[in-house]
Amino acid sequence: MRTPKIFSLSISSTIAVVITSIVSLLGFFWPFILPPQSSGIAQHNQWFMWLALPLALLILITQLTSKKLDAKSIALLGVLVAVMAALRPLGAGAIGIEPMWFILIIAARVFGPGFGLILGITATFFSAFLTGGFGPWLAYQMFAAGWLGLLGGLLPKKIKGRAELAMLLTYGIFASFLFGLLMDLQFWPWAIGANTQLSFSPTASLSTNFAHFIIFHFTTSMAWDLPRAIFTSALILLAAPALLTAFRRTVKRANFLTPIEFLSSPYTK
């Protein structure tokens, strides 16, 4: 079944996504591009937070104002955001066990990359109200989740059946490790201080800092990324067949973007 156009990115939304992605990529990869000077790492995190959140809101506004989302699709988005936000605290405190990701991947698969992007960003933001996860890291989590939804929606549409399930399982594992990698990128420069053999150094070469990060990532992340990958792929294996059917039936029956018409009463003139 072909993805309806309401869930595709409009031209204005695409421009907003490109601009926001460039800014957010700088936020993640600044240790290898723009080493901090006198401003310090803490101020850098605050700068990215305050700049990134309005840009995330810009994506949502451009998607809504471009008539790609109507009342029914916004309601669907709200329901899925609420479900993902409610699922996230269930894994709070556990090593990488976050049950929200399988919903994001399956929804993005059916509803498209634009919907997946907005769903990932908004669900991560609202889940922070339940987990108390507000801080400089929130903007990074929002964009990482949005990217996972965007990429999930860009998976080949012609693959169906068992091959589709295998593809979603593979992507679930990839997305779990990618999220861990991105979170380590924003965590590493300030997490271990400046006086260790794995620390970020603004005076070191690109290759030296990159080597430090790779060692730090693989020595610390497996305890989080591997359980996340196993848990996410297991939930996809169990829930994907039923959810794919339900979501595709929703697309078919909801008849998005069709105007609601009220029949006139036979008693009115």
Query: Average pLDDT of 83-94?
Result: 77
At 52, give phi and psi (nearest 5°): -75, -40
Of 180, 128, 174, 182, the residue nearest 151 (C-alpha): 174
Q: Assess contact for 95 and 227: CB atoms under 8 A.
A: yes
Q: Which pLDDT score is estimated for 182?
A: 92
pTM: 0.82
Of 104, 112, 119, the residue nearest 74 (C-alpha): 119
pLDDT band at 90 (very low <50, low <70, confident <90, very high): confident
Of 89, 109, 111, 110, the residue nearest 98 (C-alpha): 89
Domains in the chain (CATH in brackets) are: 5-254 (1.10.1760.20)
Helices (H), 34-160: 41-65, 71-87, 101-111, 113-131, 137-153
N- to C-terminal Cα distance for the chain?
43
Interatomic CA distance for residues 67 and 48, integer angstroms: 30
Q: Provide the token pair at 181.
A: 């990698």
Of 87, 97, 63, 66, the residue nearest 77 (C-alpha): 63
Interatomic CA distance for residues 110 and 240, integer angstroms: 11
Mean pLDDT score of the chain: 79
Of 221, 118, 220, the residue nearest 176 (C-alpha): 221
Q: Is the pLDDT of residue 241 over 50?
A: yes
pLDDT: is 49 or 73 the higher one? 73
Q: Is the pLDDT of residue 217 over 50?
A: yes
Quick one: CA dihedral 221, 227, 232, 233, positive or negative?
Answer: positive
Of 94, 100, 86, the residue nearest 179 (C-alpha): 100
Q: Is the pLDDT of residue 39 over 50?
A: no
Q: Which pLDDT score is estimated for 46?
A: 55
Q: Which pLDDT score is estimated for 69?
A: 62
The one-letter code for the residue type at 98 is: E
